[in-house]
Amino acid sequence: MGLLDVWVARPGAACRVDDKDWVVRIEDAHGAVYQWAGTSYGALAAPHAHWAGNMQPGTFVVSAYRINAKKGEPNQSDSAIVEVGCDGVRCVRLFVRVRPVRDPNPPPDHEKPPRPDRRPLDRGKQRDERDRQSRKR
């Protein structure tokens, strides 16, 4: 058995640990929620962004998410691949990306800048125009 120690970084700050409650998800190498000895590792409470537990040796994909995140707050971490051995501690820190927030109230259509006409010219018209230009020469 090895100890897996998971910490979730504060959103946008890889060197700090978040102080909010997160949920840790551990998957096997095939992307399925890891289950062992009658325990499912799909929704492990991580108060103050921390979870630790004994794991069977193997390779796992670890991620975390927040259930009660406010609108616009990051609610999911990146994933990390970790190999748990038979002895010692494996420590994982999960990074939370801060994505730009989309404007919930985009301007009405009449305030948007006009889009240029992106339709391609008719190839026949282009050929006729070239022919006219070459005849003028």
pLDDT of residue 123: 60
Token pair in block for residue 78: 């990146």
State the pTM of this model.
0.66
pLDDT of residue 43: 95
Work out the angle at residue 12's Cα, subtended by the Cα atoms of residues 26 and 18, and round it to the nearest 5 degrees. 60
| pLDDT per residue as tens digits for the range 50-69 | 999 998 888 999 999 998 88
Q: How far is 65 from 39, CA to CA, in rounded Å?
A: 19
Which residues are bridge partners to 6 per DSSP? Answer: 51, 92
Domains of the chain listed by start with CATH number: 2-94 (2.60.40.10)
The backbone torsions φ and ψ at residue 99, rounded to the nearest 5 degrees and listed phi first, read -95, 145
Q: Would you say residue 11 has pLDDT above 80?
A: yes
Q: How far is 16 from 2, CA to CA, in rounded Å?
A: 25
The arithmetic mean of pLDDT across residues 91-116, rounded, is 66
Token pair in block for residue 25: 């998800």
